[in-house]
């Protein structure tokens, strides 16, 4: 499907399968959250990055009810890149960044989630937490 035609589609599902902190499967489609960069989960012998499991768990929490996603592009792996919402939040992408467990992927989002990341930093959430003394 051409990228321009994607924006007219809305993918909807209930409790999608979550792979990691920025990827899920909804309505049979692999979806990468637009503008979100979450730590990588364990792959083979390579250990998970810090906060990877927490980011995955937060995405699961944010997507337990009904979920809708509006595609904006396709990535190089053939996944749909989308902005999503759920019964838990009107903007899953921003909520995940606001949690401090993921950061804005500025290369693609061009500052669309700067406010959400700023809130996480200011509140010292997730990866922005101050080290214990």
Task: List, by residue number, the catalytic residues.
Answer: 32, 40, 79
Tell me which DSSP letter residue 6 carries: H
Tokens 């503008």 sit on residue: 35
Residue 56 CB-density burial (10 A; 0-12 exposed, 13-18 middle, 19+ buried): buried
CA distance 52 to 41: 5
């Amino acid at each position: 499907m051409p990228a321009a035609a994607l924006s007219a589609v809305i993918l909807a599902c209930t409790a999608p399968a979550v792979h990691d902190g920025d990827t899920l499967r909804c309505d049979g489609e692999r979806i990468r959250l637009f503008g979100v960069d979450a730590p990588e989960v364990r792959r083979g012998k390579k250990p998970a990055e810090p906060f990877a499991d927490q980011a995955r768990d937060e995405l699961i929490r944010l997507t337990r009810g009904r979920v809708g996603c509006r595609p904006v592009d396709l990535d190089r792996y053939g996944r749909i890149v989308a902005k999503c919402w759920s019964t838990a939040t009107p903007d899953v992408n921003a909520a995940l960044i606001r949690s401090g467990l993921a950061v804005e992927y500025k290369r693609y989002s061009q500052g669309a989630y700067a406010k959400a990341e700023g809130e996480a930093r200011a509140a010292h959430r997730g990866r922005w937490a101050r080290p214990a003394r």
